[in-house]
Amino acid sequence: LSRAVTGQLDTAQQVEAVDREVFRVLDVRTLPIFLYDPDRRELEVTLREWDGTREPDLPRRRPLGVGLASAVLARRAPLRTADYAGACEREGVVPVREALALPHWLGVPIIAGDEVLGVLSLQAAARPFTEADERLLGNIASLAALALRSARLYEERSTTYQELTRTQDHLVRTE
């Protein structure tokens, strides 16, 4: 994963790399990846594999308070359960309808420094997730966080540089 995401400055390519590596090292077929938009206070579903099939109509936005990913974001800590519906009730979030068919759920926050960038989660119908799965997914989320933070910084600097160039060009023309 380190090799796959280092040097990548495109968020979509980094999300793809995380998806590939999670499927390679963990026995799962359902994997949503959420990125957090603090301005809109929403989670953006940037990638979702459902039973091994990629959903094509993404990104999709989800308000906070829907699904356990919102609880992971609020807690800033992993959440693992064998009862998705019960955990949603305990956490005070609305369950995602199609996720009710998959009772086993594991989610970890993607945190860089003090900033929560998103949530990486796994779902399964028959296979309960273990503490080892949680640790491994947490390590993957940590690597993803560093790469995503670098990509965001690069995008911000590129945007700032383009604005500066336009402003300088405008000043030269005005002068």
Beta-bridge partners for 49: 31, 54
| Single pTM value for the model | 0.76
Assign residue 51 a region (left: φ > 0; alpha: ψ between -120 and 50; beta: otherwise): left
| Per-residue pLDDT tens over the stretch 18-48 | 777 777 777 777 888 888 998 898 998 887 7
Give me the half-sphere count of Cα atoms (radius 13 Å) on the Cβ side of residue 171.
Answer: 6
Buried b (16+ CB within 10 A) or exposed e, 15-28: bbbbbebbeeebeb
What are 61-71's pLDDT values in tens digits?
Answer: 888 889 999 99
Residues 76 and 111: beta-carbon distance below 8 Å = yes
3-state percent helix, strand, coil for the chain, nearest multiple of 5? 50, 25, 25
Amino acid at 70: S
